Amino acid sequence: MPSDQFSPYKDTFVNTNGPGDQRPTALQVVKDNDCIGQWSGKVVLITGATSGIGLETARAIHATGADLFITARNTDKAQEVIEDIQSTSGGKRKIETLEVHMESLESVKNAANEFLAKSKQLNVLINNAGVMATPETKSEDGFELQFAVNQLAHYTMTSLLLPTLVSSSTPGFKSRVVHVASSSHRYRTFHWDNFNFTGEYDPFLAYGSSKTAQIWTSNYVDRKFGPRGVHSLAIHPGGIWTNLLAHAGEEQIKQWKSNVELSRCMQSAEQGASTTVWAAVGRVWEGKGGKYLADCSITSPTENLTDALNSGYAPWVYDEEAEGRMWNLCAELTGVMTD
């Protein structure tokens, strides 16, 4: 691995040339951290792992030799994905599916309880599932859909699994939580006064608000549970042409693809999963957390909140008061609290 431990691949993110260029894949990150086949006895859970970067995250993690749980809406599709991963990752350990509909808090709670019935151990939780720029829609529980799926569902899953993450932490490997956030958190800070965006819905602003909430939750988990052996990181995966963009609309996607500079920054799904996997397996993160990562690197603050090519974070990302307030709001809305 290159010598700059907190930005090990920085040279590969210069002069990028689109998907499949010199930037690392998730599997390369696993190899560079000497984790191929070395995680026997560890347990990892990934939400939303049947397509896109979630699938490639699962494939790379399975190569470590860990036991793997993935969540999916469609168990038939999940079985196809499992067979695909098992035939390509080189990993030999089991992969199990937890059926979950992230827009339903009851479904999320059931999936968490199903996991706990199957495993008394959890070393890494990767909160990857998400929706983006959806038409105005309410979840089964009456919340704006992006806030419900991206934030409330993952808050619920994390809270219910935190006791197991704490008990699974060891002196040699502290438990980890990885939140797949987005640079789109810069669209706006959290909309405290109207988090359902009632009467003022904008799909991209609602998405940004939900991603700000995720980052705050990650920071809170690290600060409050780090002393108990659970560390948390939030990441921006970068640009990837995946189904996550489906709701942006054909015209918007066409406009993005016609931008040569933007197209050169886009990655394959295998590359897009690299920062997630770096946060999950990177040796440099042992016993550390509370950071926002992008391009397999710790990012810097930026005042340029609208530049899609800028991976920096907004001024409001690190705010202990807001982080605690978000945790308490989610506890109130979901009825789930972990101290």
Q: Which residue carries 């939303």 as its tokens? A: 48
Name the residue with higher pLDDT: 239 or 159: 159
**What's the pLDDT tens digit per position in 43-53?**
999 999 999 99
Residue 261 covered by a domain: yes
Dist CA 131 CA 125 (whole Å): 19
Residue 169 covered by a domain: yes
| Domain CATH number, residue 274 | 3.40.50.720
Q: Which residues of 26-61 are buried (b: 16+ CB within 10 A; e: fewer)?
A: bbbbbebbebbeebeebbbbbbbbbebbbbbbbbbb
Q: Which of 201, 207, 220, 313 is catalytic?
A: 201
Residue 69 covered by a domain: yes
**What's the pLDDT tens digit per position in 195-249?**
999 999 999 999 999 999 999 999 999 999 999 999 999 999 988 765 555 556 6
Whether pLDDT at 157 is above 90: yes
**What's the pLDDT tens digit per position in 13-46?**
999 989 999 999 999 999 999 999 999 999 999 9
- Mean residue pLDDT of the chain comes to 93
Q: Residue 243: what pLDDT?
A: 58
Which ranges constitute the DSSP H helices of the chain? Answer: 26-32, 52-62, 75-88, 105-118, 145-146, 153-168, 203-225, 250-258, 260-265, 269-272, 274-281, 320-334
Give the residues across from 45 on adjacent strands.
69, 125
Residue 16 covered by a domain: no
CB atoms within 10 A of CB 202: 14
| Alpha-carbon distance values, 1 to 33, 37, 279 (Å) | 7, 18, 15
Residue 126 covered by a domain: yes
Residue 191 covered by a domain: yes
Look at phi and psi of residue 114 and say left if phi exceeds 0, alpha if psi is from -120 to 50, else beta. alpha
Mean pLDDT of 125-132: 97
Dist CA 200 CA 21 (whole Å): 41
Residue 301 covered by a domain: yes
Active site residue 201: yes
Please count the structural domains in the chain.
1
Phi, psi of 66 (to 5 degrees): -75, 155
Mean pLDDT of 164-186: 97
Dist CA 198 CA 147 (whole Å): 13
- Domain enclosing residue 28, as ranges: 21-334
Whole-number CA gyration radius for the chain: 18
Q: How confident is the model at residue 1 (pLDDT cuts 50, 70, 90)?
A: very low
Residue 12 covered by a domain: no
